Amino acid sequence: MDLLLRFLIGGVVVSLFAVLGDMVKPESLGGVFAAAPTIALATVALTMKKHGAGFVAVEARSMIAGAIAFFVYACAVSFVMIRFRTKAAWTAAALMLVWFGTAGGLWAVWLRR
């Protein structure tokens, strides 16, 4: 039942964000409203119902750390591609260590207990 509810909530929220993304100009910015934030919202809502606010707070901190790590990775990929004119696939694959390293560092400093 939880899985079905998650799919339903996720589907509705994804649809709403898709409409919002279509309304945003420039169109390239519409990707900000893609699936990841909507799935996170559905997960947080179901987790709140099942486990309570304390557990959701820990999960939210983990989501924030993951978003920060991804932002650092995306900035690094963009910088390398612009500066050195490298291919996207190779650059993205090679710099995955930046993402994992940042996430691991945030975990060690901020999330580990």
pLDDT tens digits in sequence order for the chain, 113 residues long: 777 887 787 778 778 877 877 787 776 666 666 656 767 777 788 889 889 999 999 989 999 999 999 999 999 999 999 999 999 999 999 999 999 999 999 999 999 97
What are the structure tokens assigned to 42, written together? 């559905």
Q: How far is CA 19 from the centre of its chain?
A: 19
Rounded to whole angstroms, the Cα distance separating 83 from 64 reads 28
Confirm whether pTM is higher than 0.85: no
Q: What's the confidence (pLDDT) of residue 95? A: 97
Alpha helices by DSSP H, listed for the chain, are: 2-23, 35-51, 53-84, 88-94, 96-106
pLDDT digits (tens, 9 = 90+) for 73-94: 999 999 999 999 999 999 999 9
Q: What's the confidence (pLDDT) of residue 11? A: 78
